[in-house]
Chains A and B, each alone.
Chain A
Amino acid sequence: MIRVLLPAHLRALAHVGSEISIEVPGPVTQRSVLDALENAYPMLRGTIRDHVTQARRPFLRFFACSEDWSHESPDTLLPDDIVSGKEPLYIVGAIAGG
């Protein structure tokens, strides 16, 4: 299971707690994790990445294993510690005022 931490507003929108676990079929990449996340929680579609282009929304960032993965290819394999569930994938709202 892949662990994902969502920002507070998206937790409220999806009616979930601070951390959720999702089954991700196949290679574990940003794209496959977000696909699985949106399948499980359809209300999150469009809030993390654009409906059509699938581009990350500009004020969101993806952190994994203490590194910023926001600008990596969405098809790059995520670190082993994410795949094993040892570490969560953080989806973080950019710090941009109140």
Chain B
Amino acid sequence: MSKVRVLVGTKKGAFILSADGKREKWDVSGPFFAGWEIYHLKGSPVNPDRIYASQSSGWFGQVIQRSNDGGKTWDTPGGGVKIEPGQMLKGESNKFVYDTSSPNGAELHTHQWYDGTQHPWEFKRVWHLEPSLTDPDAVYAGIEDAALFLSADGAQSWHELAGLRGHGTGPRWQPGAGGMCLHTIILDPNDAKRIYIAISAAGAFRTDDAGKTWKPINRGLFSQYIPDPNAEVGHCVHHVAMHKSRPNTLFMQKHWDVLRSDNAGDQWTEVSGNLPTDFGFVIDVHAHEPETIYVVPIKSDSEHFPIDGKLQVYRSRTGGNEWEALTKGLPQQNCYVNVLRDAMSVDSLDSCGIYFGTTGGQVFVSPDGGDNWMPIVQSLPPVLSVEVQTLS
């Protein structure tokens, strides 16, 4: 029987929630890396027992953890105390150094600060880890200050795909409230050289040559908080989602506005439709219905909680514009939590499960595509990320 494993990153550690295909009874393990911020965990689609985790701390910086047994045990790749004969441990799995070398690197210039002045580019943390679709030892990392890194050796060492940071628009990128983070990495299942990424607040970018060169894909985005609302870059994209069967169709939750693109990001169209507010962070796509999408409307950019204290997921079965509120099992009074950008995920069981975590420490599941919801856990630390693995 199929099983699901939910990987939850929180402000104070990681948790793993497991259930069979019914998704009614849950085992909760953790906290792993207790006391550390776990921005993201994600398993390899090739080998689900290979899981990568981003662990960070304001005191001790960045650490990368890796599991080869589905999260039971973890190590820092290449940083352990057991040295194999003839092998030197480098301890560089947390070494993220911008590549300024010639000819593949890019000059370490400045970006725009909150007040419009220029500010040095500085590594702060890894926001998102995206394992390769074909190689369990290959994994991408989206970092703050925004850049894309790749490891080809199971996260023992990293190198920057510097063409993105060197795109030339970098001085016009600026941090959002959470920092200038590269938070979304989408690998095209049909084209190994095509990658989409998104940065707050720069926008979305696409490479068609495996990361050598990048193109801003923000046409159609309108953002009143930048001097030119239609600018090529500077937009605060919160998250982007894709269905694997339609890699040219993208769905975006922007700071304000929900949008879609049907030509790989070359042009975006707003599909906020009848949403009560189109501010929010998460967006995701049903596993079997590529035109069924989910968002969690948040009241506004200054009030990061649901309208009237009612936690509601909105579903569109038409790829946007026409939305319905999903409320069964979700708190409908006195609920003032947020759902952060990487905190929604779906499983791929026949009856698609939808999951999301809140800053109030709840993780909810709907085993029936959003019709009914139930809490898996209710009192974790603030949830930063949720990823689901469907296991056979």
Could you tell me which A residues sit within 8 Å of B by CB distance? 7-10, 12-15, 38, 40-48, 51-52, 57, 59-60, 93-94, 96
Contact = CB atoms under 8 A, between A and B. Distances in A.
Interface stretch (B16-24, B75-83, B137-145): B75-83
Given A9-B35, A46-B95, A15 B81 contact: yes
20 contacts: A8-B35, A9-B35, A13-B60, A13-B63, A40-B81, A42-B78, A42-B89, A42-B90, A42-B91, A43-B79, A43-B80, A44-B79, A44-B91, A45-B92, A46-B94, A47-B63, A57-B60, A57-B61, A93-B60, A96-B58
A34 to B, nearest CB: 12
B97 interface: yes
A60 B80 CA distance: 22
Given A57-B60, A93-B59, A51 B78 contact: no
Contacts of A93: 59-60
B15 interface: no
Nearest to A13: B63
Interface of B: 33-36, 57-63, 76, 78-81, 89-95, 97
A59 B79 CA distance: 22
Counting chain A CB atoms within 10 Å of each CB, which of B57, B60, B62, B81 scores highest? B60
A32 B89 CA distance: 19
B108 to A, nearest CB: 12
Contacts of B97: 51-52
Counting chain B CB atoms within 10 Å of each CB, which of A38, A44, A51, A93 scores highest? A51
